């Protein structure tokens, strides 16, 4: 292969024949098969193994460098890491994609087929989990010492099937045939205690000592997934804990003849890391979930402390210089009392010293304002599972309340609002409050969201500790979300601005000057068309629907939730259908509405909306009167690897949440980066996207946060919109008929009910008209081919701000205070 001119400095180089030899070696010696027998799955594993040789060398060098430099590191605690597939990403980050492609080609194997063999690592629900994955990519790329800590779920997010229009959940078994990336580290197993009781003892010096006598002990087994930075120089790790029964405890039961009981205990212990909870944006309050949270936090803290002690012994004075822990939402907040327990009960530090350490170690990211998503644990449940932690939380709160009283003497209402303990029929522990009190920095994830965190969620906290509440706007890794998923666009960009934009995304601004250049416009839109053809093929394969690639591909991909308002798009689709039926010459550019969304299994209305989209899709797609102009495709089992196919093919990006409800959004950034134009509300990061691309390159519509507030305060009456707007009335009434569900009238009625009788909490009807007008503006803009190409190009050009490298730089400079630690060449 000819050496290409590149500006990217690489950690490894291996040529085609070496790579080929490595793949064949692993096919023979690791997989025990040969070229004649191997299927694509075996080729995939052999290719991973060949890649893993390079990865593990990088990992070893990185760990050695970090150890020798005794670096301060960030520990990213997250119950979710939505990693997706790793092979193509690792190949790209090592600069070996073309090498591997050529090597497999010579073996008569297609790399793209091999890549399709990899199951997604779907260890997350949505944005929060994917953000964690983008962040660890950036941390490695920027050569920052970092480790991700989470749970080694046996089953990730459920696989979605659609049967007769309805969502069915099936277990996800991503590791059934082994995972070639992970390394088990039995030498770092940890034990975690649960249940039991607390004994109070009085020491010689009158010091009260607490001893927790646990009722149950489980083991945490660490699995390391290497995280390859772009350029292949730093390889950090994601350490995920798997639960196992602790052998030593079970022997008693076993010896007493309780063979079966011992097995029951095994099953219980192994249940902890069995499955990811599929609820996003709702707090389930389940005992197992609290145990999951404590399990991975306790294992991770022990791991951190073991590493610290290896370098510093029992001297705790440097702990805060070496360790920062970022809490990804409140899911790992139990780590705060756990660290206090270790410092006070185990290390025997006095409370104030321990608290001074704690509050210099933790920082907390808030991802939501939705009340139903804010975690609260019944005090009784904590008392049962973690009795000592509940005591510690009470003590933290007691001291905190004294501080509040100093600031607002005698003000009981402010105390009630700020207290970590919520009084009521059932005492609850507010994990958000605990996180704010126990952290030195708290951030929201977009400018608007962070303002609302300060003003609405934690108002007095901002007065009590000015400066503690701050913003770090989210970002996405351009390595996965442009370079890897959209190679054709990447090459076009390379030809204009050089190939180092994945490391410095502001360089994309270099294509802006070609935004009106006819040749560049053609090239850019040609790439889009090719990507649309690939997606059209996927739609055909998966749904049997033919879609016209000249149509506008209008894409809405995200978890299904009322606040995200997929049903607003649905009402508009039904309205277009109706307009076309009433007037076959209704003037619109052909459009395909493409959805991807999973609903939480217990979220009835979300599942009803999926069902409705599919039923409306069936009808429209099969109605020859309209299906030249209108199609609807709901692609099942939305996941990272499907997003990688949908995003490069999108013309329009739907970001239509009720203002004030979407904390940031990150799909909005991915779609715009790939040249989709946003139709969206002034919510989350949409506002910052609009600032970057300019008002003429985005379709903003709908109520603002202030208008939402005012409308609700004045008494919102959805029926007013129903009676005032004939189209709204017609489509809502249509939902009640059996037009879309022959023989089953009322099968879609719950959506109408939620919008009229249940008050339309998310103001769908209030925003309908503005949305419809914005969609007409989209239609008009798309028909002007040059205008649309310019808009699409400018969207790509202006996404520099939204690289996760910028987010990480903000965290590093403002919160973590970390230094890069380049890996030394040996
Ligand atoms: O976090 C999402 C927000 O909704 C997005 O606006 C934001 O861009 C993203 C990253 O900051 N939140 C989210 O994905 N939450 C969850 O997935 C979730 C999972 C479990 C849970 C609660 C929320 N118990």
3-state SS track over 591-619? EEEEEECCCCCCCHHHHHHHHHHHHHHHH
Does the reported pTM lie above 0.90?
yes
* Residue 735, domain member (yes or no): no
For residues 45 and 75, state if they share a domain.
no
Q: What is the pLDDT of residue 3?
A: 42
C-beta of residue 607 within 8 angstroms of C-beta of residue 166:
yes
- Ligand 1: distance of its center to the CA of 664 in Å? 9
> Do 231 and 111 lie in a common domain?
no
- 3-state DSSP of 435-449: HHHHCCEEEECCHHH
Give the pLDDT confidence score for residue 285 in this predicted structure: 79
Domain boundary among 383, 414, 439: 439
The three-point CA angle 588-592-596 to 5° equals 145
Q: Which residue has a Cα nearest atom 16 of ligand 1?
A: 280
Atom of ligand 1 nearest to the CA of 80: 19
Pocket test for ligand 1, best of 77, 82, 126 (most atoms within 8 A of CB): 126
Instruction: Calculate how far, in angstroms, residue 280's C-alpha sits from the geometric centre of ligand 1.
Output: 6
Q: Residue 679: what are its φ and ψ, rounded to 5°?
A: -110, 120
Q: Is the CA virtual torsion 312, 316, 317, 318 positive or negative?
A: positive
Verify that 591 and 625 share a domain, yes or no.
yes
DSSP string, 10-68: -S----HHHHHHHHHHHHHHTS---TTT--HHHHHHHHHHHHHHHHHHHHHHHHHHHHH
Report which of 826, 822, 736 is spatially closest to residue 233, judged by C-alpha positions: 822
Closest-CA residue, ligand 1 atom 24, reads 280
Integer angstrom CA distances of residue 733 from 623, 630, 729: 20, 21, 6
Whether this model's ipTM surpasses 0.90 comes out as yes
By annotation, the residues acting in catalysis are 367, 558-559, 564, 666, 670
Nearest CA to ligand 1 atom 12: 128
Q: Which residues form ligand 1's pocket by a CB distance below 6 Å?
A: 125-129, 131, 279-281, 367-368, 373, 445, 474, 662-666, 684
Ligand 1 atom with least separation from CA of 445: 11
Q: What is the DSSP letter of 283?
A: -
Same domain, 215 and 109: no
| 805 inside domain | no
Contact in structure between 332 and 79 (CB atoms under 8 Å): yes
Last residue of a domain, one of 408, 439, 470: 439
Nearest ligand 1 atom to alpha carbon 684: 6
237 Cα–ligand 1 center, Å:
23
Q: How far is the CA of 504 from the centre of ligand 1 (A)?
A: 27
| Cα-Cα-Cα-Cα dihedral sign, residues 351, 357, 359, 364 | negative
List the residue whose alpha carbon is closest to atom 8 of ligand 1: 665
Task: Identify the burial level of 314 via C-beta atoms within 10 angstroms of its C-beta, where 0-12 means exposed, 13-18 middle and 19 or more buried.
Answer: exposed
686 CA → ligand 1 middle, Å: 16
pLDDT of residue 248: 55
Query: In this structure, how many other beta carbons lie within 10 angstroms of the beta carbon of residue 325?
Result: 25
Taking the CA of residue 375 as reference, the ligand 1 atom at the shortest distance is 24
Q: How far is CA 37 from the centre of its chain?
A: 39
Kind plus residue range of the DSSP H or E element containing 363: strand 362-365
Give me the CATH number covering residue 638: 3.40.50.2000
Do strands 362-365 and 323-328 pair parallel, antiparallel, or not at all (unpaired)? parallel
Q: Identify the domain containing residue 777 by its residue range.
A: 478-703+762-800
- In angstroms and rounded to an integer, the radius of gyration of the C-alpha atoms of the chain is 27
Q: What is the mean pLDDT of each run of 10 residues along the chain (826 residues)?
A: 57 88 98 97 98 96 96 98 98 96 98 98 98 98 98 98 98 95 98 96 86 95 98 96 80 59 78 95 89 98 98 96 98 98 97 98 98 96 98 98 98 97 97 98 98 94 97 98 98 98 98 98 98 98 98 99 98 98 98 98 98 98 98 98 98 99 98 99 98 98 98 98 98 98 98 98 98 98 98 99 99 98 87
Q: Please name the residues in contact with 429: beta carbons below 8 A apart, sequence gap of 6 or more.
A: 376, 377, 378, 379, 382, 390, 393, 420, 421, 422
Whether residue 74 sits in one domain with residue 45: no
- Picking from 476, 445, 475, 444, the residue whose alpha carbon sits closest to that of residue 458 is 444
Residue 807 lies in a domain: no
Are 97 and 133 found together in one domain? no
> Phi, psi at residue 809, to the nearest 5°?
-60, -40
Q: Could you tell me if 355 and 437 are in contact, meaning their C-beta atoms sit under 8 angstroms apart?
A: no
Do 81 and 103 lie in one domain? The reply is: no
Helix or strand or coil: residue 578? helix
Fill in the DSSP letter of residue 554. Answer: E
Q: Which two tokens stand for residue 727?
A: 């189209």
Ligand 1 closest atom vs CA 449: 6
What are the b/e assignments for 24-41, b being 16+ CB within 10 Å?
A: bebbeebbeeeeeebeee
Residue 450 lies inside a defined structural domain of this protein: no
Q: Quickly tell me which residue has 């045939």 as its tokens.
A: 177
User: Which of 387, 419, 439 is the last residue in one of the domains?
Assistant: 439
Q: Ligand 1: which of 78, 122, 281 to mutate, judged by most atoms within 8 Å of the beta carbon?
A: 281
Q: Which atom of ligand 1 is nearest to the CA of 130?
A: 10
Asked, for residue 826, whether it belongs to a domain, the answer is: no
CA–centroid distance, 366 to ligand 1, in Å, is 9
Q: Look up residue 477 and give its two tokens.
A: 């890794």
> Which ligand 1 atom sits nearest the alpha carbon of residue 131?
10
489 domain residue, yes or no? yes
Q: Which residues are CB-contacts of 815 (< 8 A; sequence separation ≥ 6)?
A: 324, 326, 363, 441, 443, 470, 472
359 C-alpha to center of ligand 1: Å? 25
CA 639–ligand 1 middle distance (angstroms) = 15
Q: Whose CA is nearest to atom 18 of ligand 1?
A: 280
Q: Which of 368, 445, 660 gets mutated to test ligand 1 (max ligand atoms within 8 A of its CB)? A: 368
Q: Whose CA is nearest to atom 20 of ligand 1?
A: 280
Q: For residues 114 and 169, state if they share a domain.
A: no
Distance between CA atoms of residues 602 and 211, nearest Å: 40
143 Cα–ligand 1 center, Å: 27
Ligand 1 atom showing the smallest separation from residue 474 Cα: 11
Distance from C-alpha of 220 to C-alpha of 186, rounded to nearest angstrom: 9
Q: What is the pLDDT of residue 1?
A: 36
Q: Which residues pair with 155 in a beta bridge?
A: 275
Q: Are residues 634 and 773 in the same domain?
A: yes
pLDDT at site 826: 75
Q: What is the pLDDT of residue 5?
A: 60
Indicate if 31 and 77 belong to the same structural domain: no
Ligand 1 center to 43 CA (angstroms): 36
Number of domain units in the chain: 3
Are 107 and 64 contacting, i.e. CB atoms less than 8 angstroms apart? no
- Tell me: do 563 and 424 sit in the same domain: no
Same domain, 74 and 198: yes
């Amino acid at each position: 292969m000819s050496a290409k001119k590149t500006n990217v400095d690489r950690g490894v180089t291996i040529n085609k024949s070496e790579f080929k030899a490595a793949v064949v070696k692993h096919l023979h010696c690791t997989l025990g098969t040969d070229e004649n027998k191997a299927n694509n799955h075996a080729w995939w594993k052999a290719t991973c193994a060949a890649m893993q040789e390079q990865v593990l060398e990088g990992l070893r060098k990185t760990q050695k460098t970090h150890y020798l430099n005794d670096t301060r590191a960030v520990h990213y605690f997250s119950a979710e890491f939505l990693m997706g597939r790793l092979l193509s990403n690792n190949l790209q980050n090592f600069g070996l994609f073309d090498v591997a492609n050529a090597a497999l080609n010579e073996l008569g194997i297609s790399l793209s087929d091999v890549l399709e063999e990899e199951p997604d690592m779907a260890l997350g629900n949505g944005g929060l989990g994917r953000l964690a994955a983008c962040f660890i990519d950036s941390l490695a790329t920027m050569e920052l010492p970092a480790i991700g800590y989470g749970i080694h779920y046996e089953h990730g997010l459920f696989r979605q099937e659609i049967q007769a229009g309805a969502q069915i959940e099936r277990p996800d078994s991503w590791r059934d045939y082994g995972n070639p990336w992970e390394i088990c580290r039995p030498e770092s197993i940890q034990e975690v205690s649960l249940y039991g009781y607390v004994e109070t003892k009085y020491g010689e010096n009158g010091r009260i000592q607490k001893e927790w006598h646990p009722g149950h002990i489980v083991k945490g087994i660490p699995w390391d997934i290497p995280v390859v930075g772009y350029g292949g120089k730093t390889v950090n790790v994601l350490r995920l804990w798997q639960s196992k029964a602790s052998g030593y405890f079970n022997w008693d039961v076993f010896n007493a003849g309780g063979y079966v009981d011992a097995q029951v205990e095994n099953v219980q212990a192994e249940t902890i890391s069995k499955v990811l909870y599929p609820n996003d944006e709702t707090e389930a309050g389940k005992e197992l979930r609290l145990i999951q949270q404590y399990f991975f936090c306790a294992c991770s803290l022990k791991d951190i402390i073991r590493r610290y002690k290896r370098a510093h012994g029992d001297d705790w004075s440097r702990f805060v210089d070496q360790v920062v822990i970022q809490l990804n939402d409140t899911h790992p907040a139990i780590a705060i009392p756990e660290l206090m327990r270790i410092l006070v009960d185990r290390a025997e530090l006095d409370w104030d010293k321990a608290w001074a350490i704690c509050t210099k170690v933790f920082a907390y990211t808030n991802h939501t304002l939705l009340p139903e998503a804010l975690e609260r644990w019944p005090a009784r449940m904590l008392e049962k599972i973690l009795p000592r932690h509940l005591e510690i939380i009470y003590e933290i709160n007691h001291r905190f309340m004294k501080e509040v009283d100093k600031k607002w003497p005698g003000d009981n209402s402010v105390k009630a609002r700020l207290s970590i303990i919520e009084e009521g029929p059932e005492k609850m522990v507010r994990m958000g409050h605990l996180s704010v009190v126990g952290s030195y920095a708290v951030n929201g994830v977009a400018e608007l969201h962070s303002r609302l965190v300060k003003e609405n969620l934690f108002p007095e906290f901002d007065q009590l500790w000015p400066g503690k509440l701050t913003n770090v706007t989210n970002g996405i890794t351009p390595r996965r979300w442009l370079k890897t998923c959209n190679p054709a666009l990447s090459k076009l960009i390379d030809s204009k601005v050089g190939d180092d934009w994945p490391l410095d995304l502001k360089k994309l601004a270099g294509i802006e000057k070609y935004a009106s250049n006819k040749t560049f416009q053609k090239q850019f839109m040609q790439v889009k068309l090719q990507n649309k053809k690939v997606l059209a093929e996927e739609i055909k394969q998966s749904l049997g629907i033919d879609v016209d690639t000249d149509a506008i591909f209008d894409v809405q991909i995200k978890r299904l939730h009322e606040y995200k308002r997929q049903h607003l798009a649905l009402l508009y689709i039904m309205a277009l259908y109706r307009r076309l039926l009433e007037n076959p010459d209704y003037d619109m550019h052909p459009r395909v509405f493409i959805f991807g969304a999973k609903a939480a299994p217990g979220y009835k209305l979300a599942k009803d909306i999926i069902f409705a989209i599919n039923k409306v899709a069936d009808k429209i797609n099969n109605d020859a009167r309209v299906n030249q102009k209108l199609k609807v495709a709901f692609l099942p089992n939305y996941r990272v690897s499907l997003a990688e196919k949908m995003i490069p093919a999108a013309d329009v990006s739907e970001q239509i949440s009720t203002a004030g409800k979407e904390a940031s959004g990150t799909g909005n950034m991915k779609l715009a980066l790939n040249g989709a134009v946003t139709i969206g509300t002034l919510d989350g990061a949409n506002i910052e996207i609009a600032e970057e691309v300019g008002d003429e390159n985005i379709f903003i519509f709908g109520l603002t946060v202030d208008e939402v507030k005012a409308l609700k305060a004045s008494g919102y009456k959805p029926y007013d919109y129903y009676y005032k707007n004939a189209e709204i009335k017609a489509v809502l009434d249509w939902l009640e008929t059996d037009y879309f569900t022959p023989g089953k009238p009322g099968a879609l009625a719950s959506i109408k009910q939620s919008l009229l009788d249940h008050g339309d909490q998310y103001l769908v009807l209030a925003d309908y008209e503005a949305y419809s007008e914005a969609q007409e503006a989209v239609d008009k803009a798309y028909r002007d081919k040059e205008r649309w190409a310019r808009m699409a190009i400018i969207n790509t050009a202006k996404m520099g701000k939204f690289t996760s490298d910028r987010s990480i730089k903000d965290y590093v400079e403002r919160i973590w205070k970390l230094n890069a630690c380049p890996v030394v060449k040996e």
